[in-house]
Amino acid sequence: MQSKPALRHSSGHLHLRPEASLQPEPFIVSASEAMRNVLVLANRVAAGDAKVLVTGESGVGKDLVARYIHAKSTRAARDFVAVNCAAVPEPLLESELFGHARGSFTGAYRDKVGKLELAHGGTIFLDEVGEMSVRMQVLLLRFLENGEIQAVGAERASTRVDARVICATNRNLSEMVASGAFREDLLYRIQVAHLHVPPLRHRRDDIRALIEHTIERTGRHLCVSDEAMRALEGYRWPGNVRELQNVIEQLVWMASSDVVDVDDLPPVTRAEGRAALHVRERRRQMADDLYAELVSGNFSFWNQVYHLFLNRDITRHDVRELVRKGLVTTCGNYKALVKLFGMPGGDYKRFLNFIAAHDCSVHARSYRDGHGAEPLPVVSVTAAAADRSSRARGSGSSPQS
Ligand SMILES: Nc1ncnc2c1ncn2[C@@H]1O[C@H](COP(=O)(O)OP(=O)(O)OP(=O)(O)O)[C@@H](O)[C@H]1O
Ligand SMILES: [Mg+2]
């Protein structure tokens, strides 16, 4: 939908045009702790006006989160204007964002108002910001510094725009900065607050709820058998929520009965889902057995578990699963876990060194409140908070955290 431009005053300042109708708040499925954390942070940043960078793989819901922040903000009654920086060819992106004056290039038959100006009073969403050319990055940086826009072909900057800026990307912008493809100063400007939406395979608790939500939206009645649901929950979903929606919609419209069984699933989902399920169940069983033997005192960690691992009878995944079980019991306390597994307190360092050396460490922080193991999303609301959060993250990677 094309928005009408803000009203321009003779001084060149923009007046807010009458309020648009309130956009409904998008519904975000958040059955997993990781997604609930994303929403908590989204609500927190929505209360302020800080620039937000939303990152995550393709199809995880970055667009949805950006719309949610806008809908929860004090700008909700104004426009949310989205620009996909990857979809607009580079020569046209400047005009798309800043507008152009009539005659400024071939085909510019009349003045055109840019998207930044259209977002005055509201939110501008710069999607796929990592695809911007270096020249466009310079122009965007200039706008972020003073809020002024200069239309292509205009003699001077004429308008000051007040738009909340939300950017999104599925690229690793820090790596792009390191390779010189993205400006470091621009990255700092756009990620005053940073929200990372984890891939669906890292928040499997959302899968069932997303399937139910997608079926409900089609208005059809369809049940998914337990086995089919387990296979779908075990699948890796490389295309994330978008892929899930496509698979479920296809099932809904192709289903010959009211129940979807595992044989109705697309072959890749079925095969991978079943295999993953099998591996997870075996691993869980192994960890359960080792745990029971350790806490009952039948096994000693160093005499049995350690040797089973060195002899490759169990894998690092099994050890990690065992550590996870211990952390659940001890609410994220590694010292208590050492005791629980029957080791003397003096073995604490040796144990930590062992799990770190073999990549079996598990973040303790997410078990502190007694919940599951989803990694926390990252947020940095101010530069100082960014500092604090990166320090916290740094220490979080050590099991002692
Ligand atoms: N948590 C969620 N609850 C409900 N729907 C969701 C959720 N996450 C994503 N979706 C839906 O999945 C689809 C893809 O989401 P979206 O377009 O926001 O992803 P994206 O990260 O912006 O993807 P891309 O990187 O490809 O642009 C949309 O239809 C969106 O409504
Ligand atoms: Mg998107």
Ligand 1: which of 32, 211, 242 to mutate, judged by most atoms within 8 Å of the beta carbon? 242
Q: What is the pLDDT of residue 31?
A: 94
Bridge partners, residue 81, by sequence: 124
Conformation bin of residue 237: beta by default, left when phi > 0, alpha when psi is -120 to 50: left
pLDDT mean by block of 10 residues, the chain; 401 residues: 49 58 83 94 96 96 97 94 91 88 72 89 96 93 89 76 96 92 96 95 94 94 91 91 96 89 86 72 85 91 92 89 92 94 95 93 76 39 36 39 32
Fold entry, domain 200-273: Helicase, Ruva Protein; domain 3 (1.10.8)
For residue 128, report the distance from its CA to the centre of ligand 2, in Å: 7
CA dist list (Å): 306 to 282, 310, 323, 325, 397: 19, 6, 13, 17, 23
Kindly give the distance from the C-alpha atom of residue 40 to the centroid of ligand 1, in angstroms, as a whole number: 18
Please tell me the predicted confidence (pLDDT) of residue 282: 80
pTM of the model: 0.70
Domain with CATH 1.10.8.60 in the chain: 200-273
**Residues spanned by CATH 3.40.50.300 within the chain?**
5-196
Ligand 1: which of 29, 64, 172 to mutate, judged by most atoms within 8 Å of the beta carbon?
64
Ligand that comes closest to the CA of residue 211: 1
- Would you state the pLDDT for residue 13? 60
Helix (H) or strand (E) holding 52: strand 52-55
Q: What is the predicted pLDDT for the residue at 340? A: 95
Q: Decide if 70 contacts 93 (C-beta within 8 A).
A: no
The pLDDT of residue 387 is 37
Give the pLDDT confidence score for residue 380 in this predicted structure.
38
Q: How high is the pLDDT of residue 112? A: 81
CA distance linking residue 95 with residue 104, whole number of Å: 10
Q: Which CATH class is domain 5-196?
A: alpha beta
Q: Whose CA is nearest to atom 10 of ligand 1?
A: 61
Minimal CA–CA distance to 93: which of 127, 61, 67?
Answer: 127
How is 200-253 classified by DSSP, letter by letter?
Answer: GGG-THHHHHHHHHHHHHHT---EE-HHHHHHHHHS--TTHHHHHHHHHHHHHH
Task: Read off the DSSP letter of residue 177.
Answer: H
Q: Which ligand is nearest to the CA of 66?
A: 1
- The atom number, within ligand 1, closest to the CA of 168 reads 22
Nearest to 176 by CA among 137, 149, 221, 208: 137
